[in-house]
Amino acid sequence: MSTDHVELRTGAYADSVTLLQVSRRVQQLPGVVTAQVAMATPLNVEVLERMGFAVPPEATVNHLVVAVRLEDSGALDGVVTEVDRALTDSRRQGSGPAEEEPPHTTASALRRGPASVVLVSVPGASAAVEAMDALEAGCDVMVFSDNVPIEQEVALKRFASARDLLMMGADCGTAVVGGVGLGFANVVAPGPVGIVAASGTGCQQLLALLDHAGVGVATAYGVGGRDLSADVGGLATRTALTRLDRDPGVELAVLVSKPPASAVARELTAYAEALGTPVIPALLGPGRPDLTARAEEVLRALAREVPEWPVRGRHTRAGTGIRLHGLFVGGTMKQEAEALVTAAGVPSDLVDLIDFGDDEYTTGRAHPMIDPTLRLEHLAEVAADDETGVVLLDVVLGHGAEDDPAASLAPAITGLRPSVVVTVVGTRYDPQGLDRQVATLVDAGAEVHLSNAGATRRALEILGAGVTEG
Amino acid sequence: MTEPVVSVGVDLLAQAVADQAAPVTRVDWRPPMPGTEDDLATVALDPVRPEADARALERMLGVQALLVDVLPAHEAVGLERGEFMHAGPPISWDRASGPLRGALMGGAVLEGLVDTPEEAEALFEGGLHVRLEPCHHRRAVGPMAGVVSPGMWMFVLEDPATGARTHCTLNEGLGKVLRYGAYSPAVIERLRWMGDVLGPLLQRAVRSADPVDVTAILGQMLQMGDEAHNRNRAGTLMLLRDLGPALVASGADARDVAEALGFVGGNDHFFLNLAMPACKLALDAARGIDGSTMVVAMSRNGTDFGIQVAGTGDEWFTGPAQVADGLYLGDFGPDDANPDIGDSAITETAGLGGFAMATAPAIVRFVGGSVPDALATTRRMREITLGENPRWSVPVLEFAGVPTGIDVSKVCRTGILPQINTGMAGKVAGVGQVGAGLVTPPEEIFPKALARLAELTRGRAAARTPA
């Protein structure tokens, strides 16, 4: 048989929300059938009466009613103690103000404060949305993400262009802006050269060669591999060149790209000629000067001495295989090698060049500059093949790349029968330590170049010896 | 660089910036609601959207809501005998929930269409002599069931710059009231008194006094602990302050005046019925702007939760209304509660209620939360809004304006749903209020609205491009 306990307390005001919480807590106590702790407002009295409690007629809005229905009266003292505790606890909850949550969108981040640039690397299907947040807030953006539909890139670049903003990318791997490297970027000293690059690793090769020649770089803008296509029309390239032209510290601008669509090339040439700053177009492709030749052209234009491009660990013995395997992490490194191989007239069935940064190899895994696993597996396979004469590799240093790529590559090339030729793309300031990386690879038996074109020619030379002897 | 790089996506790239001793702000990016990527990109890249959203927000923030009159609904919104308005998106009697049915039954008794609520059921089931229509379709809003019949008196709010008007009934108080679906004789009797005495009295007072600036009172009450949805205590008292002298000076029977003053002062929610039409007046100014992704109404009829968007005309995007999470009166429990009901989420749509939680910490305790939770809620709502309202500021957040202008795209991107403070009605007709708590809209209505926005965007693009 249950028993009811109803008591009125005076001078014990609490707000209705607190009391609803107290009531809930009391309702959950063992031995309690139901309970209500409330100020005796007409509404609450009605509620209590509907629950079957007899509320004393003297109750007024200034009374606190404690109404408890117990399974048996023995539990009363314990329950009343708990009611008191619940009422006391209710007055001292909470702590200091909460930490602000991180922003969930680029727009939210930019609403909290201005940014120098926005770096977008979300999946391609969502990249345009974040990039648009940046542009709407009047901020330049670099889209590292790939798989961004071309029409979205065009729309973003039109929006940016109309507002004198720079939309780098999509699929822009490298930029150096305001002295900070974005994406995969080498650390360079400030200097007279400005770069606009449609190719990330092409830009990095140029940064590395100029650094060796003692020439710094003011700014390197990436524009994405499709910027000079007919669809995009060089929208970002124009803005980037204009920016460089306005920078009094830039004496010379270099445009690194595959040859643009012909209409785009005409427009861009006219545009570049109208600028006060000379622009060297470093257009890459079969039959065109390679990046190293372009770097030399830049140095001559600046009246600087062209240095010997360093080679360490020169091979002295000839190889025995007939085939060249090029395993690259940089797309432009591979394309440059391909052009040189074609120009040298090497039969295509004797050459196999792979870009492990290509979409085909990056689906579901990190870029090979970050995760070397796939290339190392492939390296073991080709090294075991008796037909392999030379293995040509690139190692890209800089921020964003592996912490110590030579350390993971060295064991894989140590003691290999085929000759190993490596291009290490890096500057003396890169966090991995250029000299240390080169030394590790030389110790492992590799011939190490700074120039990818030089490394490729050398690989062909070694292969030629191998062919002759085989 | 002194200003940070904002990095959204792969953390390694953010870390690479940090490693160069450059400041970096990391965005806590998550994949958007499933299947929304294409529509999000389409809408993001719509060339008219940025300006459209800016205009929607600007228009909304430019509205001043003045209380200019109090009129019976047949005069205020032209409601004819047999016509009833209700909260939420359109609904028919057969799909109506308990509280909406209860309120309609009570309304039919009040209008003298039937003698008893039981006869009313037959009247609505027959459907021949009655017509149901959302409040929103007649420039009105109603809390909870939101039932308005021709004889009920309504506040009339006007924006002096445009002459635009909105309307809302007078608040009945808490507990057993029509808007929670109760229809007992006491409920009807109170409504008759409101129609016979309170309405006409308020009309005389409003007409003789300077117009009450509801927008300004909202600004003040936010600084006094009200969030203008579940807490309207300060606002109600300020209304009394503004109308008290005119009420007393009206020459009406002193006992009627005293009763009216006591009724208004004794009902902490009286001001809600002014806050709601003020919010609607502001949001209506943002309607019909092509390309804008801003939500202009969130509303529930006890069965469906619906939203309307600035860029999609009068179309409703609906999904099932949810049951609030909160505290219950007496021995009511979750089984007694009806799904979410009422036009009162117009307050959240305008940046009040759950969006202004930080200024009314008491409200967060409806779900056993804490003061830091309240601050976090208001801050979180900034993630899904287009801007802030400088007129409605929150002292504890350094007087930041309340987050304003819910962006359909940002909801789909972040998965953060608008937080609504609400009362809970009993699901059985006639029961009345059973509790109060917090609720969110059903997630799926935002991708639905987004898909329509994207479709309209593609249509505009096609129209621009000659075939």
ipTM value > 0.85: yes
Within B63-184, residue ranges assigned H as helices are: 73-76, 98-110, 117-126
Nearest CB among B26, B37, B330 relative to A126 is that of: B37
Q: How far apart are CA A65 and CA A72, in angstroms?
A: 20
Which residue has 């009763």 as its token pair? Answer: B259
Q: How far apart are CA B251 and CA B257, in angstroms?
A: 9
> Do A188 and A287 fall within a single domain?
yes
Which architecture, in CATH terms, is B63-277? Answer: Alpha-Beta Complex (3.90)
Q: Is B400 exposed, middle or buried (0-12, 13-18, 19+ CB in 10 A)?
A: middle
- pLDDT digit string (tens) for chain A, length 470 residues: 789 999 998 766 777 667 877 888 888 888 899 999 988 888 888 889 999 999 999 888 778 899 999 998 888 888 888 888 888 776 554 444 446 789 999 999 999 999 999 999 999 999 999 999 999 999 999 999 989 999 999 999 999 999 999 999 999 999 999 999 999 999 999 999 999 999 899 999 999 999 999 999 999 999 999 999 999 999 999 999 999 999 999 999 999 998 888 899 889 989 999 999 999 999 988 889 999 999 999 999 999 999 999 999 998 876 688 999 999 999 999 999 999 999 999 998 999 999 998 878 877 677 898 889 899 999 999 999 999 999 999 999 999 999 999 999 999 999 999 999 999 999 999 999 999 999 999 999 999 999 999 999 999 999 885 443 33
DSSP string for A294-316 = HHHHHHHHTTPPPPPPPEES---
Per DSSP, which regions of A52-183 are E strands? 63-70, 117-120, 141-143, 167-168, 174-177, 180-183
Residue B37 has what pLDDT? 96
**The two structure tokens encoding residue A155:** 């729309």
Q: Which of A63, A89, A115 is the endpoint of a domain? A: A89
Distance (Å) from the alpha carbon of A279 to chain B's nearest alpha carbon: 26
Within a domain: A372: yes
Residue of B300, B280, B106 whose CA lies nearest to B195? B106
Select the residue from A108, A141, A219, A367 to test the B interface by mutation, using most B Cβ atoms within 10 A.
A108
Residue A469 has what pLDDT? 34
Structurally, chain A folds into a number of domains equal to 3
Select the residue from B3, B5, B6 to test the A interface by mutation, using most A Cβ atoms within 10 A.
B6
CATH number for the domain that contains residue A79:
3.30.70
> Do A123 and A271 fall within a single domain?
yes
Distance (Å) from the alpha carbon of A191 to chain B's nearest alpha carbon: 17
Helix (H, G, I), strand (E, B) or coil at B186: helix
> Do A136 and A265 fall within a single domain?
yes
Within B228-345, residue ranges assigned H as helices are: 233-248, 254-265, 272-284
> Do A151 and A269 fall within a single domain?
yes
Q: Which residues are bridge partners to B420 per DSSP?
A: B439
Within a domain: A101: no
Helix (H, G, I), strand (E, B) or coil at A142: strand
If you count them, how many residues does chain B have?
Answer: 467
Nearest CA in chain B to A104: B28
> Which residues, 6+ apart, have CB-to-CB distance to A102 below 8 Å?
B26, B27, B28
> Do A23 and A138 fall within a single domain?
no
B219 with B227: CB under 8 angstroms?
no
Residue A99 has what pLDDT? 61
A325 with A388: CB under 8 angstroms?
yes
Contact A115 B396 (CB under 8 A): no
Distance (Å) from the alpha carbon of B376 to chain A's nearest alpha carbon: 7
Q: How far apart are CA B303 and CA B318, in angstroms?
A: 10
Residue of A354, A327, A338, A321 whose CA lies nearest to A409? A327
Distance (Å) from the alpha carbon of B405 to chain A's nearest alpha carbon: 14
> Do A63 and A123 fall within a single domain?
no
pLDDT value at B288 more than 70: yes
Sheet order of strands, B165-169 included: B165-169, B153-158, B66-72, B212-213
Kindly list the distances between the CA atom of residue B274 and the CA atoms of B6, B216, B252, in Å, as whole numbers in the listed order: 42, 12, 23
Contact B50 A136 (CB under 8 A): yes
Within a domain: A43: yes
What is the rounded end-to-end Cα distance, in angstroms, of chain B? 47
- Residue A119's identity, in one-letter code, is L
pTM of this structure: 0.88
Read off the pLDDT of residues B378-399 as tens digits, 9 standing for 90 and up.
999 999 999 999 999 999 998 9
> Do A119 and A243 fall within a single domain?
yes
Within B115-253, residue ranges assigned H as helices are: 117-126, 185-193, 199-208, 214-222, 233-248
**Residue A56, Ramachandran bin (φ over 0: left; ψ between -120 and 50: alpha; else beta):** beta
Distance (Å) from the alpha carbon of A292 to chain B's nearest alpha carbon: 27
> Do A170 and A293 fall within a single domain?
yes
> Do A241 and A371 fall within a single domain?
no
Interface membership of B7 toward A (CB under 8 Å): yes
Q: Is B212 exposed, middle or buried (0-12, 13-18, 19+ CB in 10 A)?
A: buried
Nearest CA in chain A to B371: A94
Q: How far apart are CA A208 and CA A203, in angstroms?
A: 9
- In B, residues 115-154, which contact A (CB 8 Å cutoff)? none
Sheet order of strands, B317-320 included: B317-320, B304-309, B295-301, B341-342
Residue A41 has what pLDDT? 83
Nearest CB among B38, B327, B416 relative to A104 is that of: B416
Stretch B191-217: mean pLDDT, rounded? 96
> Do A270 and A377 fall within a single domain?
no
> Which residues, 6+ apart, have CB-to-CB distance to A204 below 8 Å?
A174, A184, A185, A186, A330, A396, A398, A425
- Alpha-carbon dihedral of residues B40, B44, B46, B47, nearest 10 degrees? 180
Which architecture, in CATH terms, is B49-60+287-464? Answer: Alpha-Beta Complex (3.90)
If you count them, how many residues does chain A have?
Answer: 470
Within A247-346, residue ranges assigned H as helices are: 262-273, 291-301, 331-343
**Residues in A touching B50 (Cβ below 8 Å):** 136
Residues of the domain holding A110: 106-301
Interface membership of B29 toward A (CB under 8 Å): yes
Per DSSP, which regions of A284-433 are E strands? 311-312, 323-328, 351-355, 388-396, 419-425
Phi and psi torsions of B36, nearest 5°: -100, 0
Alpha carbons within 13 angstroms on the beta-carbon side of residue A104 total 20
B305 with B318: CB under 8 angstroms?
yes
A313 with A296: CB under 8 angstroms?
no
Residue A92 has what pLDDT? 52
- In A, residues 277-306, which contact B (CB 8 Å cutoff)? none
- Residue A378's identity, in one-letter code, is H
Domain map (residue ranges) of chain B: 49-60+287-464, 63-277
**Residues in A touching B14 (Cβ below 8 Å):** 119
Q: How far apart are CA A423 and CA A392, in angstroms?
A: 8
Within a domain: A306: no
Beta carbons within 10 angstroms of residue A281's beta carbon: 17
Residue B432 has what pLDDT? 85
Which tops the pLDDT comparison, B315 or A260?
Answer: B315
pLDDT value at B367 more than 60: no
Residue A61 has what pLDDT? 73
Residue A466 has what pLDDT? 46
> Do A415 and A292 fall within a single domain?
no
Q: How far apart are CA B51 and CA A284, in angstroms?
A: 41
Interface membership of B266 toward A (CB under 8 Å): no
Q: How far apart are CA A455 and CA A457, in angstroms?
A: 6
CATH number for the domain that contains residue A170:
3.40.50.261
Within a domain: A78: yes
Helix or strand run (H / E) with residue A127: helix A124-136
Interface membership of A145 toward B (CB under 8 Å): yes
> Which residues, 6+ apart, have CB-to-CB distance to B79 below 8 Å?
B73, B85, B138, B148, B149, B150
Residue A228 has what pLDDT? 95
**Residues in A touching B174 (Cβ below 8 Å):** 43
**The two structure tokens encoding residue A239:** 């803005």
Q: Which of A35, A59, A89 is the endpoint of a domain? A: A89
Query: How would you classify the pairing of strands A32-39 and A63-70?
Result: antiparallel
Which tops the pLDDT comparison, B318 or B128?
Answer: B318
Select the residue from A2, A13, A15, A17 to test the B interface by mutation, using most B Cβ atoms within 10 A.
A17
Residue of B130, B167, B146, B136 whose CA lies nearest to B86? B146
> Do A117 and A78 fall within a single domain?
no
- In A, residues 363-382, which contact B (CB 8 Å cutoff)? 370
